[in-house]
Structure 1
């Protein structure tokens, strides 16, 4: 069935009256034959001149067809038809999965199943010309959810794919599909990569390397000597009227240094204008001549008692009121009150690093929080090869109580109409030029 997404453009087809009027206006004049008794033919000639006759009928039809096709093209036509169950089912095949299930897939194809690629378009493919590589990172769950818009709920689907955990991200929603899912585990692939490198002294660095396999990810640390010096991690602390806060912060950073081995150097604003971190534990404005990579600063305003609300493993006693135009909040207590905001490279603290404000500095939580900042735990990301448990593949299906409307197959006719439009225009131009040459030679 033909559907038009913008049917108002079909009014343009009324323009076919224009080529009709042009053809009626430009009639080919009759040739005058000088013969005897011309008076006897005078009345007949006059009647012939006044009659309406269409000339160049093929040209007229082509021009009218061009206008109608243009109107249909602008109307965005689509052909929709009910889903055909001429095949026994679909085989959804991920690249590289065929060798693991060759016998099963060949048997399904012989029984009448149609082969499709496991991608966003579920492209139909041939078993003799399988794709060589799949670079998609779209979640399997997202892809399978799209199938609900393509096939009826009782149509058999046979999915063959890998079982890598990184392809199962996203919500685990129910699938209203008749799904049979087969996975394989690639136990031969191991990925090694350097995840993080930092200086431990002037001539050496420590590398954190990842090793990923189907059964997990492990991390190893190795020290390496370098021929060229490596810059240390530079921290500048300005405490102003909060000297105790500065001492607590310095002690926490030194604990991180002792645990991780990373070389950390404390600098001052007089000698270093570009530290890695500027810890501005003051309500004063930031100096304009400092250009640190990151800034940690206190907010301004009066203190508010927090009624000992918890924030993870430590307790908040006092905090600042957050301004109306606050930064993006990245950490808050269990009461929902912001504790840390960020804006670009600037972090704002809404509580102080002092036992009167919270107990993070006395319970050992401050060094643990700083450890994730100074020596962050790397993520395996694209290197993750861990296999998912087979019990996590499918959710409960709704088959049997499904109220989902059977999908229809939609074919966009834009490209077809565009091709016809070009062909009609080309033929019309050829015939028009030919007609002009004949008139000129007459």
Structure 2
């Protein structure tokens, strides 16, 4: 079955109007006839006429065809082929970027499934089919790595499972083998109707130490945030060192192009540039002046601990928000002003909605937290229904999102579904309030720490919710998509060459 993966590009076919207009307005000038005398020719009234005709039909057709093929090419044509259920017993899938380690971990299970007739597919967008027997070229069963995935490629496994849910039948057995690290699972746990068997493992490099961030203190020292991540969790330590201290055995400090850089001695992590900028924390209070008072006190405590060059300021008018603001706290029930937030790197904004009275607690341990000690729980009294599309940062005791992270380009927007007010929760009275804000503010300035997140999840945490009703999108047979773009590219090149030849051909001269 012929289909297009990106049909919005069909609007590109409107470009066919261009060659039509060009050919219709390509009017030829009249011919001049030489006669001996015009004295015998009667005077006639002057008339003019204009004819809109297609003068070069083959060239016109080729140009229209050229634009049409280009629009179809951008629409990503594929041939959707249904597979025979009798020949396909199931799928075995695991990621290309972790191919070697995944196969070696589950080799007996994977080999037995493939021998039983299960097809191998990559656990990557599109789920490309491959043949494991062509990869095992060594008689000693050593694995030769297939075509390597792009560097720093990391897909969200839950997004892939949702895509898989729309591609295969709910009756087809699917065996998934992946790492179990939390960094591969983002957003909300999906609901699927799949015959899913998901097994995970903890990679060998399950512990890592790295530099998360570094900056200059007002006294000229370098404040370093060092992270240590392992399967049970991630911890951070703070330390100060002099920029010219060469005797330090833990860190290496160098200067490159006038910028101070710091790295772990003997570590493989790239050097982190020491931040010299002054951090600006701006609070827009609007009518919630009480909320702003509590928040400002917590931020000042963070500044004192961070020892970072920081300005904390409360404004009453959005026009007073300066450009290049590090953090904007929009404590208003009004929608976030686009003009005010345009040049802000990080934004925390109150979300509007109908508040609901709840009897629960809130935590900043993230959506994968299990058993928490009582001292890490804060009483929650009111909240607003959250949008599940964001990454959960703070949750209530039922697992509902209270603070969600949205990435918008290089900007991070935190949507808060409660308030910094004692009427909503006990956070502002808690000793943990400054610690929560410290964890929130001390995100890396230029370093993505996800490759260093080694926390692992249990099956209860990562397995999607399996619903009993049948797919609405899946059929009784699985199918695979075969890309047809190469054929469209070949056709486009042939048509373009023919168009160029017709456009530059030499017209024949007729002799009198």
TM-score tier by shorter-chain length is 0.5 to 0.7
Matched residues in 1 for 2:92 and 2:330: separation? Answer: 60
> Is contact 1:202-1:232 (8 Å) kept?
no
State the match for 1:42 in structure 2: none
1: distance between equivalents of 2:455 and 2:69?
Answer: 49
Counterpart Cα distance in 1 of 2:319 and 2:467: 60
| Residue 169 (structure 1) aligned to one of 186, 189, 197 | 186
Distance in 2 between the 1:329 and 1:104 partners?
47
Determine which of 118, 121, 124 is the counterpart of 2:126. 121
Instruction: From the superposition, tell whether residues 145 and 295 of structure 1 become closer, same or farther in structure 2 (CA, over 3 Å).
Output: closer
Is 2:346 the partner of 1:330?
no
Shift of 1:387: 0.8
Aligned with residue 415 of structure 1, among 480, 486, 497: 486
Selected match of 1:178 from 189, 195, 199: 195
- How many residues are matched? 325
The one-character-per-residue Cα deviations of 1:22-80 (angstroms, maximum 9, x if unpaired) are: xxxxxxxxxxxxxxxxxxxxxxxxxxxxxxxxxxxxxxxxx9xx999979957947644
The verdict on how the C-alpha distance between 1:376 and 1:250 changes in structure 2, with shifts beyond 3 A counting, is closer
**TM-aligned CA distance change 1:184 to 1:417, over 3 Å:** same
Counterpart for residue 130 of structure 1: 146
1:149 Cα offset (Å): 2.7
Shift, 1:138, TM fit: 2.3
| Stretches of structure 2 lacking an aligned partner (at least 5 in a row) | 17-58, 136-144, 246-259, 261-273, 283-291, 341-346, 356-380, 385-410, 412-419, 444-448, 502-512
Alignment of structure 1 residues 58-73 onto 2, 5 Å: 73=69
Cα displacement (A) at 1:175:
1.7
Aligned mates of 1:222, 1:251 — CA distance in 2: 24
Q: Distance in 2 between the 1:221 and 1:102 partners?
A: 42
Alignment partner of 1:208 is 2:277:
no
How far residue 373 of structure 1 moved from its aligned partner, in angstroms, is 5.8
Q: For residue 91 of structure 1, what is the aligned residue in structure 2?
A: 92
Answer yes or no: is the 8 Å Cα contact 2:227–2:236 preserved in 1: yes
Which TM-score applies when normalising by structure 1? 0.53
- Equivalent residue in structure 1 for 2:168, among 151, 161, 164: 151
Deviations 1:238-263 (A, max 9, x none): xxxxxxxx9999987775566x2x54
Q: What does the per-residue CA deviation read over 1:283-329, in whole Å, with 9 as the maximum and x for residues that have no partner?
A: 799999x9996699999xxxxxxxxxxxxxxxxxxxxx977985687
CA distance in 2 between partners of 1:375 and 1:3 (Å): 47
How far the C-alpha of 1:177 sits from its partner, in A, is 1.6
Measure, in 1, the Cα distance between the counterparts of 2:435 and 2:162: 40
**Number of the residue aligned with 1:82:** 82
The gaps in structure 1 that reach 5 residues or longer are 13-62, 238-245, 265-274, 300-320, 338-343, 345-352, 431-442
Cα distance in 2 for residues equivalent to 1:285 and 1:78: 50
Q: Identify the residue that residue 461 of structure 2 maps to in structure 1.
A: 392
> Is the counterpart of residue 279 in structure 1 residue 296 in structure 2?
no
Runs of 4+ off more than 6 Å:
3-6, 66-72, 228-237, 246-254, 283-288, 294-299, 321-325, 332-337, 357-360, 423-427
Given the superposition, is the C-alpha separation of residues 256 and 426 from structure 1 closer, same or farther in structure 2, using an over 3 Å criterion?
closer
Pick closer, same or farther for the CA change 1:87–1:291 going to 2, 3 Å.
closer
Larger radius of gyration: 1
Instruction: Say if 1:279 and 1:297, in contact at 8 Å, map to a contact too.
Output: no
* 1:155/1:377 CA distance change after superposition, 3 Å: same
**Could you tell me whether the CA contact under 8 Å between 2:182 and 2:457 is conserved in 1?**
yes
Identify, as 1 or 2, the structure richer in helix.
1
- Structure 2 distance, partners of 1:131, 1:169, is 26
CA deviation after TM superposition for structure 1 residue 197, in Å: 3.3
SS at match of 2:466: coil
Aligned pairs for 1:281-296 within 5 A: none
Root-mean-square deviation (CA, aligned residues, Å) is 6.0
Is this contact kept in 1: 2:330–2:350, CA < 8 A?
no
**CA 1:72/1:164 → structure 2, altered by over 3 Å: closer, same or farther?**
same
CA distance in 1, matches of 2:279, 2:298: 15
Report the secondary structure of 1:92's partner residue. strand
CA distance in 2, matches of 1:81, 1:154: 18
Structure 1, residues 143-180: CA drift from partner, whole Å, max 9, x if none? 01111232222122111111011112222122212211
| Counterpart pick for 1:104 among 109, 125, 130 | 109
Please give the alpha-carbon distance, in whole angstroms, between the structure 1 residues aligned to 2:324 and 2:172: 61
Q: 1:83 offset after TM fit, Å? A: 3.2
- TM-score w.r.t. structure 2 length? 0.46
Aligned to 2:250: none
Deviation at 1:120, TM superposition (A): 0.6
Q: For residues 83 and 144 of structure 1, do their structure 2 counterparts lie closer, same or farther at Cα, with a shift above 3 Å needed?
A: same
2:209 is matched with which residue?
192
CA contact (8 A) 1:175 1:396 kept: yes
Task: Judge conservation of contact 1:153–1:399 (CA < 8 Å) in 2.
Answer: no
8 Å contact from structure 2 (residues 66, 495) kept in 1 = no
